[in-house]
Amino acid sequence: MKYDRAERLTKLPPYIFIEIDKKRKAALAAGVDLVDLGIGDPDRPTPAVLLRALANASRNPAYHQYPLGSGLPEFRQAAARWFEGRFGVRLDPASEILALIGSKEGIGHLPLAFVDPGDRVLCPDPGYPVYNAGTLFAGGVPVRLPLLSSNGYLPDFGAIKDAHLKRARILWLNYPNNPTAATAPESFFKDAVRFCKRHGIILAHDMAYSEIYYNGAPPHSVLEAPGAMDVAIEFHSLSKTFNMTGWRIGFAVGRAELISGLITVKGNLDSGVVSSIQAMAIAALEAPPELSESVRRVYQKRRDLFVSGLRRMGFDVEYPKASFYVWARVPHGATSASYSSELLEKAGIVTTPGNGFGTAGEGYIRMALTAPEERLKIALERLKAFVAR
């Protein structure tokens, strides 16, 4: 007897990272010392002050019961204060903010609230794979929006076919961008809001890297653009900002109607975010700015060290303005997959092939600055020897 998987699972694109993952596991099993720049998961621990807040909150019996749907009022108020302080946009904590079990959860669930079978969802390519997966699970059809270096990795709305536009329900954007590390100018968000208004599309912006920026230039929220509250929902995460990927908490902000659609989906699937983790998140959002500043400083030093080293070796690579990714073109004649495999086998460095994020990512590899400076220096030495061969 055989249990066939539902069609929605068979529609998922093949997992392109599988080959490099196999090689990585085999090398590790053979005792090879790998410098792992593959997965974008912060290597540093969650700040001690936040762990103390979690430990204290865990002793509150009120937090031992089911958390309520949209999050603790105190959490939503703290998120509203943080948001206004950071972006100058005032939100109603009661209707315009929703706690999420990590922003990935909300991103994946949003189409269940607003996409019917056959509807189109505009997804950046290369992009975070969850935009596609969530669309497919809802029966929607992902439409690729190529992000090209010639266009600053911003999508060209004018290039979208009318047939897709007519049925488009959601436009996904993600700045600072994973995997390209691009940022978007304010004028682009204004254009995106106008575009979504004209065509009746939901503007869904993933801002997981809002606080990982360099040279003192904080990225803008899409909600700062005029009229954005009419069309937009924005996803925020504490994961990257506070080294909290393991605790699973994020939040969505934006038009109340969009937030409430997502609440309806979640209310039927989960019972909210662990309350003591919401308390930990309040401590993070209310922490002095030095806390996220210290996280940024670590990545800035790594970025400067690693990217300057790559450039000296002749790699075609920009200094990221934000995020902790380095998006590098592979040398002429190589593909994303072949180069990534070679780096693993001959230099002991794990990278992510760019085509795993979509066909427009072909010709690139992504390296995550989630390894200490000593390891990045070793990676540079190995690369130097590899390139010299």
Ligand X SMILES: *Cc1c(COP(=O)(O)O)cnc(C)c1O
Q: Interacting stretch for ligand X, rule CB under 6 A, among 101-109, 153-161, 197-205, 370-378?
A: 101-109
Q: Give the long-range contacts of residues 140-146, CB within 8 A, separation 24 or more.
A: 140/111, 140/115, 140/116, 140/169, 141/167, 143/168, 144/358, 144/359, 144/360, 146/360
Give yes or no for a contact between 17 and 356, defined as CB atoms under 8 angstroms apart: yes
Q: Interacting stretch for ligand X, rule CB under 6 A, among 20-28, 100-108, 281-289, 356-364?
A: 100-108
Work out which of 24, 104, 255, 375 binds ligand X, going by CB under 6 A. Answer: 104
Of 123 and 228, the one with the shorter C-beta distance to ligand X is 123
Work out which of 102, 155, 261, 358 binds ligand X, going by CB under 6 A. Answer: 102
- Burial of 146 from C-beta contacts in 10 A (0-12 / 13-18 / 19+): middle
Residue 74's φ and ψ, nearest 5 degrees, are -65, -35
- Burial of 267 from C-beta contacts in 10 A (0-12 / 13-18 / 19+): middle
Smallest distance, Å, CB 96 to ligand X? 19
Phi-psi region of 227 (alpha: psi -120 to 50; beta: other; left: phi over 0): left
Give yes or no for a contact between 181 and 306, defined as CB atoms under 8 angstroms apart: no
Region 235-264 residues binding ligand X, contact defined as CB under 6 A: 237, 239-240, 245, 250
Smallest distance, Å, CB 237 to ligand X? 3
For the record, the structure tokens of 30 come out as: 């053979």
Indicate if the alpha-carbon torsion angle 331, 181, 18, 387 is positive or negative.
Answer: positive
Smallest distance, Å, CB 167 to ligand X? 25
Of 114 and 247, the one with the shorter C-beta distance to ligand X is 247
Of 121 and 380, the one with the shorter C-beta distance to ligand X is 121
Of 89 and 101, the one with the shorter C-beta distance to ligand X is 101
Smallest distance, Å, CB 308 to ligand X? 24
Task: Work out whether 353 is an interface residue with ligand X (CB under 6 A).
Answer: no
Of 114 and 357, the one with the shorter C-beta distance to ligand X is 357
183 residue type, one letter: T
Of 239 and 340, the one with the shorter C-beta distance to ligand X is 239
Q: Give the long-range contacts of residues 104-109, CB within 8 A, separation 24 or more.
A: 104/130, 104/250, 105/248, 105/250, 105/266, 105/270, 106/235, 106/250, 106/252, 106/262, 106/266, 107/131, 107/134, 107/204, 107/206, 107/235, 108/133, 108/134, 108/137, 109/134, 109/262, 109/265, 109/266, 109/269
Smallest distance, Å, CB 239 to ligand X? 3
- Burial of 241 from C-beta contacts in 10 A (0-12 / 13-18 / 19+): buried
Task: Work out whether 132 is an interface residue with ligand X (CB under 6 A).
Answer: no
Of 180 and 347, the one with the shorter C-beta distance to ligand X is 180
Task: Work out whether 234 is an interface residue with ligand X (CB under 6 A).
Answer: no
Work out which of 17, 114, 128, 172 binds ligand X, going by CB under 6 A. Answer: 128
Q: Interacting stretch for ligand X, rule CB under 6 A, among 99-107, 115-123, 306-314, 332-340?
A: 99-107
Residue 92's φ and ψ, nearest 5 degrees, are -90, 110
Work out which of 40, 126, 155, 261 binds ligand X, going by CB under 6 A. Answer: 40
Binding-residue total with ligand X (CB under 6 A)? 14
Of 241 and 355, the one with the shorter C-beta distance to ligand X is 241
Task: Work out whether 178 is an interface residue with ligand X (CB under 6 A).
Answer: yes
For the record, the structure tokens of 55 come out as: 């430990």
**Angle CA 10–14–16, to nearest 5:** 160
Region 195-214 residues binding ligand X, contact defined as CB under 6 A: 206, 208
Of 324 and 383, the one with the shorter C-beta distance to ligand X is 324
Smallest distance, Å, CB 255 to ligand X? 20
Of 16 and 347, the one with the shorter C-beta distance to ligand X is 16
Instruction: For residue 316, give the 3-state DSSP assignment.
Output: coil
Task: Work out whether 278 is an interface residue with ligand X (CB under 6 A).
Answer: no
Work out which of 46, 103, 132, 180 binds ligand X, going by CB under 6 A. Answer: 103
| Contacting positions for ligand X (CB under 6 A) | 40, 102-104, 128, 174, 178, 206, 208, 237, 239-240, 245, 250
